[in-house]
Homo-oligomer: A and B are copies of this chain.
Amino acid sequence: MPSRPSHRSGPQRSEAARQAVLAAARQLVEESGYGAATVEAIAAAAGVGKPTIYRWWANRASVVMEAYLAMADAEVPFPDTGSAKEDFRCHLSAVAQAMSTHPTGTALAGLVGDAQHDPALAKAIAAEFIEPRRVAARQIVTRAVQRGELRADIDADVAIDALYGPLYYRLLVRPSPLNADFVDTLIAHVYPGLINDP
């Protein structure tokens, strides 16, 4: 989301164009997958010139990512049930559900894939997608530690890696089911290592 000086003369960025681009990107991803969402196709579908896209986004992955964020934002809320285990089970299930669904999972996988060749995109994914979710996850951990539900000496980052890493692993590396059963089993295997063990 490129920030610009806000008090400037002349025409502002066209919100209509921005929305049209994002909508087109989203639709292309949904209908034909990430590979079809080329900059040219997005521009054509949005009724927008290519330079308008390049004016505001660095490359196609950035466009698709912003479109993806719009899709994903409302989808996977972090609950607060009072139990970290339930919170994580709930959220991990929702994430697994989103990952195994078209187009959400396809797009995420495509974006992370492209990010391997595009450091700027990698940074964007980390900063705009991953990090906000980790902040929420860390809050769950912090609350649970305060409650005595999780080990006081827990390393929140590593704990979160241990819970979410396997989901991304299955999404990206090892094609295998990403469902609630998997999440339950995962929690059953990982969570005991994280709890306060009297």
A172 touching B170 by the CB < 8 A rule? no
Residue numbers in B under 8 Å from A193 (CB-CB): 188-194
Q: How far is the CA of A173 from the CA of B112 in the complex (A)?
A: 7
A169 at interface, CB cutoff 8 A: yes
B46 touching A17 by the CB < 8 A rule? no
B161 touching A166 by the CB < 8 A rule? yes
Residue numbers in B under 8 Å from A162 (CB-CB): 162, 166, 186, 189-190
A73 at interface, CB cutoff 8 A: no
CB within 8 Å of B: which A148-183 residues: 154-155, 157-159, 161-162, 164-170, 172-176, 182
Query: Which of A64-72, A75-83, A86-94, A114-122 participates in binding chain B?
Result: A114-122
Residue numbers in B under 8 Å from A161 (CB-CB): 166, 169-170, 174, 186
Residue numbers in B under 8 Å from A192 (CB-CB): 192-193, 197
Which residues on A are within 8 Å of B, measured CB to CB? 1-5, 13, 16-17, 20, 23, 34-35, 46-48, 109-110, 112-117, 122, 125-126, 130, 154-155, 157-159, 161-162, 164-170, 172-176, 182, 185-186, 188-194, 197
17 A–B contact pairs at CB < 8 A?
A: A1-B20, A1-B23, A2-B13, A2-B20, A109-B116, A113-B114, A114-B116, A162-B162, A162-B189, A165-B169, A166-B169, A168-B168, A172-B173, A188-B193, A189-B190, A190-B190, A193-B193
